[in-house]
C-alpha cells in the first residue's frame, strides 16, 4: 500500500453552542487539515496521486468553505444572526474538530471518486499544536 499525506493550514472561528465551557464562546484557531490517501496501484509516473492536484483541491475546498469563516451548528441561535453579516459554514452538528474531520472526509471521498483506486485513509483536523482529531472508516 502506498500512502500520501497532504496538509493545509487555515484560520477559522467556531463555537460549541451546547458545550459548557470556554468553547461556548466564539473563538478562532489556526487549523491544519491533514488528508491521508492511499492506493495499491501507482500511476504511470509513479504517484499515488500528483501532490499538486490533491493539494489544489484540498486548499480550494477549504478556501471556499472554511478559511476565515465561522463554523456553526445550524441549530445555534447565532447562525441566523451571523449569516447575514459574515462568512458562515453551516454544520448539521456541533463544529468540533472531530465533526470537521468527518465532514472533510466525506468531501474528499467525493472528490477522489473520479480517480479510481485511490482511497481516503483518514482526515485529521489539528486544532492546536498539541491536539488533533482524526476520522477514519
CATH classification of the domain holding 42? 3.30.479.10
* 68 included as an active-site residue: yes
**Of 23, 29, 38, 98, which is the active-site residue?**
23
Residues 61 and 129: their CA atoms lie apart, in Å, by: 23
Tell me how many domains the chain contains.
1
Query: What's the pTM value of the predicted model, to 2 decimals?
Result: 0.95
Per residue of the chain (137 residues), give pLDDT as tens. Answer: 999 999 999 999 999 999 999 999 999 999 999 999 999 999 889 999 999 999 999 999 999 999 999 999 999 999 999 988 899 999 999 999 999 999 999 999 999 998 888 999 999 999 999 999 999 98
Q: Which domain holds residue 36?
A: 2-136
Q: Does residue 20 carry a catalytic annotation?
A: no
Identify the active-site residue in 7, 24, 27, 68. 68
Our answer to whether residue 127 is catalytic in this structure is: yes
Amino acid at each position: 500500500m502506498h500512502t500520501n499525506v497532504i496538509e493545509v493550514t487555515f484560520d477559522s472561528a467556531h463555537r460549541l453552542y451546547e458545550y459548557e465551557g470556554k468553547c461556548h464562546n466564539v473563538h478562532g484557531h489556526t487549523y491544519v487539515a491533514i488528508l491521508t490517501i492511499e492506493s495499491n496501484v501507482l500511476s504511470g509516473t509513479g504517484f499515488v496521486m500528483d501532490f499538486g492536484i490533491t493539494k489544489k483541491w484540498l486548499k480550494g475546498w477549504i478556501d471556499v468553505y472554511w478559511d476565515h469563516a465561522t463554523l456553526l451548528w445550524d441549530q445555534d441561535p447565532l447562525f441566523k444572526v451571523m449569516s447575514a453579516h459574515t462568512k458562515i459554514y453551516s454544520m448539521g452538528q456541533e463544529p468540533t474538530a472531530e465533526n470537521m474531520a468527518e465532514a472533510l472526509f466525506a468531501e474528499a471521498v467525493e472528490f477522489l471518486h473520479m480517480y479510481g483506486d485511490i482511497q481516503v485513509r483518514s482526515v485529521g483536523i489539528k486544532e492546536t499544536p498539541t491536539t488533533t482529531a482524526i476520522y477514519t472508516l
